[in-house]
Structure 1
Amino acid sequence: MKKIILLTVLLFLSCSSDSSDDGYGQYDNGDSYNNSSDSGYPVSVSPNGMSDYMLSGKDRNGNISGNDPQIEFKVGDKISFTVSSSGHPFYLKTKASVGTADIIMGISNNGTSSGKISWTPTQAGTFYYQCSLHADMSGMIVITD
């Protein structure tokens, strides 16, 4: 009988949830962002003149903030860029270059200056975000397995 009661208590405790869980976990460094929701990693994009994109949001290392930061994700992460950069088309590319060459294929709304771009990387590598008109408005995206 004691075993049944103990088993019932253990089962109850293992099924309990902590209502303070906000979906933010920690990796070994204590700063990383573990997004367990379906919303993915949100990244807001706006221009800083004609020289930089200002990004804010989350990546695998935690908070993103500043001009043209390097951002890091894993294969399969859902990344959602909310772009508000009139006159500065925001492209996700395989090479840092102005113009519309070298874009990552299969991304709808790639190159928008106002709207959402959603991307779920399928392979590891180094990619770039780039204004098609201004060479300095560029940053690196690192995707790992």
Structure 2
Amino acid sequence: MRRKNVMTMVAAVCLLLMVTLSFSCCCNNKIDVEREVARAIHRDKPCLEHVYEDEKWDSVYILLPYQDPHQLGLRISHSDLKNLGNLSLADQYCTLIFGHKGGLVAYSAIKRSVVDFSNIKGRKFHRGYVFQMKD
């Protein structure tokens, strides 16, 4: 009888651990599109429309270094909010946040040495927006 209780307890702990791990994985929406962004921005008509096509998105937000992610007005999960807050503490990155209907879909840190979005006026752009990049 005691062994059955221990086995039940172990099974419950394993199930809880699996649920926790799967939830934490699904809430982290960090992607790496830096290379695609660099290629897209250096074209004749710099646009981010096709740099990320795994999910549906309608707008891109630019999170600057030291900017509070809350200022963007997006619905963001707690884990993504924490990660974005940590990314914004790094001076060498701007973070692109792909959104859909006011919610975060995915985000990618872009090195400012690759593409510097910090001088662009505005923080929210529709999917097909053509950027005016300064050298």
TM-score over 0.5 for the pair: no
> Which has the larger share of helix?
2
> Which has the larger share of strand?
1
Q: Which has the higher contact order (CA 8 A, sep 6+)?
A: 2
Q: Give the TM-score of the pair, scaled to structure 1.
A: 0.33
